[in-house]
């Protein structure tokens, strides 16, 4: 029986090279807990110690648990900015979409208008949420393979002066595209707009500072670059902006302001049943992020993984959809190889049998599949994957 102290000891023992070694052992595709390595954009492969942290039941109104929640909130703010006094973190039940929806439904006033910059499914989903809530919405779409252009934003803001909020996806996971959030936020701010960033698949995996970037609301979830398990997400909010959102929510359970004020008043108490085991695993995942060397070190690992992957795939005649200058280090979309014999289902089945799960494509303009490299995934895993693809190459 493992209690929380054991889980902490286990993680503490994995200092430096030892932890790296332990992580590698953990990544073995033959581990009984892990029939395959997830090369997907989340849920992703987590460490054994993150999973072990869930082997205890927690009371939701006990001080120990609420203290853990407060500590997580504070560590998230410190991960997001060097100016933590201006920001707060709110944890929200559900998957990442629930958290994005809590922002969209809670921070835009009745007479507000949202501009969504889209170049993939997740941007479109934000516009869809706004439409469900009856929020006035306008969309600036860049197709599926073009980066968002900040200059176009400027023009749209001049044309439609009644826009109050601008939303953008940082890494559009549909393709792996990294969008220019710094330029977008800077222009939005010059025009006095509130900036909302869906950083679901990037936060924790790439250095950024919400205060420097002038972001008002940034959304991410437990099961992406922080490498926790699915069950909740979080919003990093500029406190002054969020404090003005009382009574605006169009949903009771997704009321971001109420969730925040209850957490503040109750010292870490969630309004409704919280995913206790998932929160405990997330605490462990945050420690492991720190042990790895923080966001900068994780960014380097992901970047090295992604470069190894793309270079190896090119040598096998499989090419990435995006140009490298707009490509994120988290997930890569590849064109299907140009062969009649190629079938994604066949590739998927062969790789799964060999211990790797990849991801189908999600765009209409081209036949693609995707390979993620976030989670407990190391160089040797990517090397092994490439070797298997070469050995199994049936097209």
Ligand X SMILES: *Cc1c(COP(=O)(O)O)cnc(C)c1O
Separation CA 75–CA 55 (nearest Å):
23
Piece in contact with ligand X (CB under 6 A), picked from 138-146, 195-203, 267-275, 288-296:
195-203
Smallest CA-to-CA distance from 263 within 54, 81, 72 is with 72
Separation CA 108–CA 362 (nearest Å):
29
- In this structure, what are the phi and psi dihedrals at residue 263, rounded to the nearest 5 degrees? -65, -40
Nearest 5 degrees, angle CA 318-CA 202-CA 197?
Answer: 125
Using the rule CB under 6 A, which residue among 200, 208, 245, 326 binds ligand X?
200
- Please check whether residue 386 is in contact with residue 371, taking contact to mean a CB–CB distance below 8 angstroms: no
327 binds ligand X (CB under 6 A): no
Q: Among residue numbers 236 through 275, which ones bind ligand X (CB under 6 A)? A: none
| Closer CB to ligand X, 11 or 368, in the complex | 368
102 binds ligand X (CB under 6 A): no
Least CB distance from residue 380 to ligand X, whole Å?
26
| Closer CB to ligand X, 48 or 101, in the complex | 101
3-state helix, strand, coil in the chain (%, to 5): 45, 15, 40
Element (H, E) at 357: strand 356-357
Piece in contact with ligand X (CB under 6 A), picked from 90-98, 149-157, 243-251, 369-377:
90-98
Least CB distance from residue 199 to ligand X, whole Å?
8
Q: Among residue numbers 33 through 52, which ones bind ligand X (CB under 6 A)? A: 41-42
> Measured at CB, which residue is nearest to ligand X?
96
Separation CA 44–CA 298 (nearest Å):
15
- Please check whether residue 116 is in contact with residue 167, taking contact to mean a CB–CB distance below 8 angstroms: yes
361 binds ligand X (CB under 6 A): no
179 binds ligand X (CB under 6 A): no
351 binds ligand X (CB under 6 A): no
Least CB distance from residue 40 to ligand X, whole Å?
10
Show the DSSP H helices in the chain as ranges: 4-12, 16-26, 48-52, 63-80, 96-107, 121-132, 150-159, 181-190, 210-213, 239-243, 256-265, 276-292, 294-315, 344-353, 379-392
Please tell me the count of residues contacting ligand X according to CB under 6 A: 13
Separation CA 49–CA 227 (nearest Å):
11
Least CB distance from residue 339 to ligand X, whole Å?
30
97 binds ligand X (CB under 6 A): yes
Least CB distance from residue 331 to ligand X, whole Å?
8
Using the rule CB under 6 A, which residue among 68, 69, 89, 169 binds ligand X?
169
Least CB distance from residue 200 to ligand X, whole Å?
4
Treating both helix axes as pointing N-terminal to C-terminal, what angle do 96-107 and 121-132 enclose, rounded to 10 degrees?
50
173 binds ligand X (CB under 6 A): yes
Residues that bind ligand X (CB under 6 A): 41-42, 95-97, 100, 122, 169, 173, 198, 200-201, 221
């Amino acid at each position: 029986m493992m209690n929380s102290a054991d889980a902490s000891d286990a993680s503490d023992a994995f200092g430096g090279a030892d932890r790296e070694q332990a992580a590698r052992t953990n990544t073995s595709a033959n581990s009984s807990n892990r029939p395959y390595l997830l090369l997907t954009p989340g849920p992703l492969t987590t460490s054994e110690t993150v999973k072990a942290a869930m082997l205890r039941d927690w009371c939701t109104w006990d001080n120990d648990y609420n203290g853990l929640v407060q500590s997580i909130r504070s560590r998230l703010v410190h991960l997001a900015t060097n100016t933590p006094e201006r920001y707060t973190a709110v944890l929200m039940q559900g998957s990442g979409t629930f958290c994005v929806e809590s922002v969209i439904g809670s921070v835009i006033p009745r007479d507000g208008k949202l501009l969504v910059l889209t170049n993939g499914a997740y941007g479109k989903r934000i516009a869809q949420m706004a439409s469900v809530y009856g929020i006035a919405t306008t969309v600036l779409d860049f197709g599926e393979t073009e980066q968002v252009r900040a200059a176009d934003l400027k023009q749209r803001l001049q044309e439609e002066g009644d826009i109050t909020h601008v939303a953008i996806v940082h890494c559009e996971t549909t393709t792996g595209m990294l969008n220019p959030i710094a330029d977008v936020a800077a222009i939005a701010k010059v025009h006095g707009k509130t900036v909302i960033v869906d950083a679901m698949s990037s936060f924790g995996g790439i250095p950024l500072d919400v205060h420097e970037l002038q972001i008002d609301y940034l959304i991410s979830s437990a099961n992406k670059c922080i490498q926790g398990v699915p069950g909740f997400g979080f919003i990093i909010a500029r406190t002054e902006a969020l404090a003005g959102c009382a009574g605006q929510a169009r949903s009771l359970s997704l009321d971001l302001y109420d969730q925040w004020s209850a957490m503040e008043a109750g010292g870490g108490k969630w309004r409704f049943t919280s995913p206790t085991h998932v929160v405990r695993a997330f605490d462990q995942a945050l420690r492991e992020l720190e042990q790895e060397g923080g966001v900068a070190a994780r960014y380097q690992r992901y970047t090295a993984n992604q470069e190894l992957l793309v270079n190896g795939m090119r040598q096998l005649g499989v090419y990435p959809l995006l140009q490298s200058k707009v490509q994120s280090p988290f997930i890569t979309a590849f064109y299907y190889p140009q062969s009649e014999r190629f079938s994604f289902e066949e590739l998927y089945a062969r790789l799964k049998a060999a211990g790797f799960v990849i991801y189908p494509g999600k765009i209409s303009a081209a036949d693609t599949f995707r390979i993620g490299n976030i989670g407990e995934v190391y160089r040797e895993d990517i090397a092994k994957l490439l070797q298997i693809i070469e050995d199994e190459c049936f097209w």
